[in-house]
Every structure is written in structure tokens, then in C-alpha cells.
Copies of this chain bind each other. A is one copy, B any other.
Amino acid sequence: MMEKIKAIKIKKEMKVSELVDEMKEAGFGARKMGKAVEIMKEMFSDEECKVFLGVAGAMVAAGMKEIIIDIIKEEKINVFVTTGANLTHDLIEALGESHYHCDYWDDKDFHAKEFDRMYNVFMKNQVYEKIEEFFEKNWEKFQNSKNITGFLKKIGELLPRGNNSILRICYEKKIPIFCPGISDSGIGLMVWGRLASGKNISIDVFDDMKEIIDIAWGSKKNGVIYVGGGFPKNFIQQSLQFSKGADYGIQITTDRPESGGSSGAPLEEGISWGKMKKDAKHIDIFCDATIALPLLFASIKN
């Protein structure tokens, strides 16, 4: 079967879904974007499929929060794995602070102004005060949190009803958040501050694994969406490795495969490990996630 490339024809007032439909008939990255929407629709509508979403990179600071929240509210995913950084940025906004643009920058000047930069985004260093205060005030309430997922669930529970944050919405929707590297984040630093002042807490690092592997085992099919690699991708992959590989996969990354890291590895590589099934429907998108994510979700929004 040989399908001809059809050149993309731009129309006035074109909808995103129409544009991505046209992309599927073109080549290179456009083609893959179109295929990704096709796979995503099938993954989300397959009722036997549990969906694992892994998000690395400072996606919340960069304005991807509402997309993630909508995915969770619409119950499109069953498991959310992300970095401590994303959860910290989410908590920062949950507590009333903001992130900012910067099209030009001077890091020495930013340091003097106490602005912490992430490429063309920054936050004020004072945001840490709000997080510190949050943990100081609520410290005792974390005494019953025994693992990382439980600790994160407690944060969501402590935020007020209606708070527009990933942490709160996951709590309300009962979506577990996994974050093996939670200590590697602003949240981690603020917990360290309490520990340094003599307070205690006991959060086990391995305990969560049972829960995520059980979900992978218990489902009939699994689907994965990896935004940006890192340990969110790896943690989901290893949960699938010894249970059952994914049936659907979408990966968005700008990392290279040649340097051998997990973040840049194509999904296909996961087949060798059993992290992905041999006949899985899968696609790798090479694109900045702040461009690809909005395109994909605007295409499937209904």
C-alpha cells in the first residue's frame, strides 16, 4: 500500500484538528504529529487500557498546567508520574505565586534581582517562602504519610477544594502521583529545612513501586505517554517491564538517541526489554513539548 503525500493546504479560520488531520498526509514531523493523534484517540477510547502519563521538564512553569489538569479531569489517564520540579512549580502556583516570561536575560542581573531562570521563564526566589510556610504549618499532618505517593496525596488533600492545581485535582480524581525523585526538588528542599531544624518524617523510597506495578499488572492493556523522558519515563517503563508491556505509546522528546540515555531512546528500543509489546502502536515525536502537547490535545478535545 503506497500512500501519496498530500501537501498541507491552509484554510482561513482553520481549526487545530483540521490542521493536524492534514499533517497526517504530509511527511517528516508533521506526519508523526498526525499519527500521534490517531494513536492517542485509540488509546483514550480503548476501555480496557490503563494510561500512564509521564511528564519531565518544567512543563508547569512553561504553561502546560491546564492541559495536564484537563487530561486528569476528563479521566483520560490512570497514573501520573512527574518530576519533583513540576510538583514544586504546581505547588508554587497553588499557593498563589506565579511564573514569568523573559525573552532576554542576563543571569548575573537575574541573580541580583533574585529571579530563578529556566530558559525563557523565571520565578522569584521568594516563592520558596510560601512553600516553607506550607510545610511548617502542616508538618504534623504528614506524619501518617508512609510513601511518596501518600505524601503527595496529602499535599493535594491539604490544598483547598477548588484549588486549580495538579496536586489537588489528582487528589480529587484519585489519580496516584508517582515521583521517585521527590527529594530532588524545591519541595525536597523545604522538607530538608524542617529535618534540619530537628523535625521528623518517614517516607519510604521503595514502597510506591508495589502500587504502580500492581496497576500495570492488573490492567488488560496499557498505554504510555512520555513527555520529555527523565525518570518519569523510566519509572513507568520499568513498571511495565516485568508485568506487561504497553500496547500504545507516544513519546515527545528533543533528546538524541545516540548518547544512549533513556530520555532520547526511541520507544522501539523498549520492545527489546518487554516494556512495549512487539505489535504496539507507537510513535516518537521530535518536538519541543510546549508546541507538541497543545497541538495534540487541541486535536482531540471534544
Interface residues of A (CB under 8 A from B): 2-17, 19, 22-23, 25-33, 35, 56-58, 61-67, 70, 83, 85, 98-101, 103, 105, 107-108, 110-111, 115-122, 125, 148, 180-186, 188-189, 191-192, 195-196, 201-210, 213, 228, 230-231, 234-235, 238, 241-242, 254-265, 268-274, 278, 286-292, 294-295, 297-298, 301-302
Contact = CB atoms under 8 A, between A and B. Distances in A.
Contact of A260 (B12, B22, B259, B290): B290
Contact of A100 (B5, B23, B125): B5
A240 to B, nearest CB: 11
Pairs A-B, 3 closest by C-beta atoms: A26-B63, A29-B288, A27-B62
Contacts of A196: 210, 213
Nearest to A208: B183
Contacts of A57: 259-261
B3 A100 contact: yes
Given A63-B26, A205-B203, A14 B12 contact: no
Given A4-B98, A301-B11, A28 B121 contact: yes
A22 B57 CA distance: 20
Contacts of A64: 7-8, 26
A50 B299 CA distance: 35
